[in-house]
């Protein structure tokens, strides 16, 4: 879902990840993983033609695993926050600068990342 007001864009989406069972996980261990549910939100501001800035966040839960029927107690309940700046160089090329961090971390995803991304659009 997205909505635009002037130079502001508001966007939200939900996701459900489904996993199949893995009967060849490791050393004869049978792995099952529960569904994982997530909600994402983006607040995007159009700075000028071909330039935008985005503040994004997400929250996800679930995904607990069972190994040979035994609960691993590793279900996730995590949240991340990120900032992205995008600059279109021409019709096909753009450069993005991004940073994100873990806000709530129960299991996994407790890291910070920074990067530069070149994107080519057909």
At 30-73, the pLDDT tens digits run 999 999 999 999 999 999 999 999 999 999 999 999 999 999 99
Q: What is the rounded distance in angstroms from the CA atom of residue 101 to the CA atom of residue 112? A: 4
This model's pTM is above 0.85: no
DSSP structural state of residue 106: S
* 115-52-47-83 Cα dihedral, nearest 10 degrees: -50
For 53, the token pair is 């800035």
């Amino acid at each position: 879902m997205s909505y635009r007001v002037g130079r502001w864009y508001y966007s939200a989406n939900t996701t459900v990840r489904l996993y199949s069972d893995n009967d060849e996980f490791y050393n004869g261990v049978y792995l099952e993983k529960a569904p994982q549910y997530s909600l994402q939100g983006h607040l995007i501001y159009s700075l000028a033609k071909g330039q935008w800035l985005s503040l994004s966040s997400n929250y996800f839960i679930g995904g607990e695993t069972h190994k040979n029927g035994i609960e691993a107690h590793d279900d996730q309940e995590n949240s991340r926050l990120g900032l992205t700046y995008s600059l279109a160089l021409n019709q096909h090329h753009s450069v993005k600068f991004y940073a994100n961090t873990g806000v709530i971390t129960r299991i996994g995803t407790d890291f910070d990342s920074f990067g530069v991304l070149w994107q080519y659009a057909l």
